[in-house]
Amino acid sequence: MSRLMKVEPRFLNAQRSPMDGVTFPVSRLDVEVHRILFHLQFIVLPSLVICFIVVSKRSVLPRWTHSLFFIAFLAYVWYSFRNHQSGYRTGSPWLDYSLGSTLGFFIFNALHLLVLVDPLEEYWHKTRPRPSEWKARVYWVWQTIVSLRGFGWNYQIHNLPATPKAGRDRLEYCFYALRQSLLHLYLVDVMQNTIRTVPFLRLSNIPLDSNSSTIYSFLLWCIQRFARVAVWFFGGYAGICFYYYTVALICVGSGYSEAGDWPKVFGNLKEAYSLRNFWGRTWHQLIRRFCISLGRKGTRLFDVAPRSLTAALIKLYIAFLASALMHSFGDYMVGQQYIGVSFGFFFLQPFAIIFEELVQLAARQVMHPQIHRTSSTHSASFEKFKGHPGGASFLSLRTRSIAARVIGYLWVVFWFTATTPLMIDAAIEAGFVRDSVFPFSPTEIIVTAFRSRWNSTR
């Protein structure tokens, strides 16, 4: 399974990889088969093994053996990549990074289910009782593995995005998921073609005219960095949405799950007026479950009170440390020389979150010492200060709230514009703009047809 044909990478008009002499699939069909086999070997089959281990705990396997199984799985992954490292790469940086990050995600998910929690004891569904039959319990544990955000379970994450209105009916939701999948497929293709065809978005440092003013040069530099980050972020957003709605379409269409079990994968962009909100509300929460369990384990390990400030800091840093390590598997799949590129970006995030929390605290104390936290609704703020001799009026509170959010949006944009190039520059160097994520490019087909028609009419 790990041995593929050793040939030149010629799918998708690919050039030679930065790693000479490695093994690559021969065509796009081989790439897709490779991805399926990779997921079967490292994701699907180990997930089934986890189900059997968890269900067999009471009758066959003591709880402490779960840790041994997790260590054995880590040893299996380490041995596989140590001896057949090149056999797991496709030669396309986009796909290799996706495979590596998925593997890193599953390793942490396995740690969560085998070591950090006991699904049979700690998890239950709000409407479906825990089954007693062995086969039914295997399926029940499988559902806890794939239900990453816990919709309908007792571990459902906070701030879960709403289920779309189209989710009330199975057929209606299938059409909705199909539309969303095709839309985001096209958006990914547009973003990727934009990056490939616009040199302005690929340059880490734009060449400037020596006669231009310092202010003009600085503004051009800011615009270029912002445009690069926006296109890359939007491409990642669209790619995750495409895969999410494709899986949702298959699961709901086949009857495996209900339409209402698939809330939106991303939250509202309006909530992203702080880094904490961006990562905790707007961005996907697919890895939040094991990040939370790791944080709780860390607080217990250091014997810290669960609701203390120290515990909150430990949970925050552990969550982003786990995310950084998970994405580092993607770096490794692209090439050993890129290990740590993603780590730096994600590891910086908690420091910025702590900084913004301190700034917000200081601002509240300066603006109004009696306000210890900003209310989420203007009416609540108005009721709190109505009739207070020194209190702020509703209009002034609303103005302050709007101004604070505008400043927050600018801060979030500034932070990501400053830090995301840590990953973007390395991604461009690795060849992320070289190959297409998908086998064909709708944008390229449309543009080619438009050019042909335009040239024929001239």
Domain assignment present for 338 = no
Q: To 5 degrees, how large is the angle CA 12–CA 16–CA 21?
A: 125
pLDDT digits (tens, 9 = 90+) for 142-158: 999 999 999 889 999 88
Domain that includes residue 55, residue range: 1-148
Asked if residue 296 lies in contact with residue 302, where contact means CB atoms within 8 angstroms, the answer is no
Tokens of 274: 């702080």
Give me the half-sphere count of Cα atoms (radius 13 Å) on the Cβ side of residue 23.
Answer: 13
pLDDT digits (tens, 9 = 90+) for 290-336: 999 999 999 999 999 988 999 999 999 999 999 999 999 999 999 88
Domain assignment present for 79 = yes
Q: Given this model, what pLDDT does residue 20 score?
A: 41
Q: Is the pTM of this model over 0.75?
A: yes
Ramachandran region, residue 414 (left: φ > 0; alpha: ψ -120 to 50; beta: rest):
alpha
Q: Is 255 exposed, middle or buried, given 0-12, 13-18 or 19+ CB atoms closer than 10 A? A: exposed
pLDDT digits (tens, 9 = 90+) for 59-69: 677 888 899 99
Domain assignment present for 341 = no
pLDDT digits (tens, 9 = 90+) for 20-45: 444 455 577 778 888 889 999 999 99
Domain assignment present for 325 = no
Structural domain tally of the chain? 1
Domain assignment present for 103 = yes
Cα separation values, 162 from 166, 282, 367, 375, Å: 11, 12, 34, 22
Mean pLDDT (whole number) for 414-441: 84
Tokens of 350: 């908690």
Domain assignment present for 392 = no
Share of the chain above pLDDT 70, in %: 82
Measured from the Cβ of residue 180, the count of other Cβ atoms closer than 10 Å reads 21
pLDDT digits (tens, 9 = 90+) for 258-287: 888 899 999 999 999 999 999 999 999 999
pLDDT category at 379 given cuts 50, 70, 90 is very low
Mean pLDDT (whole number) for 95-101: 92
Residue 200 makes CB contacts below 8 A (sequence gap 6+) with 206, 224, 227
Is 223's pLDDT higher than 70?
Answer: yes
Domain assignment present for 99 = yes
Domain assignment present for 113 = yes
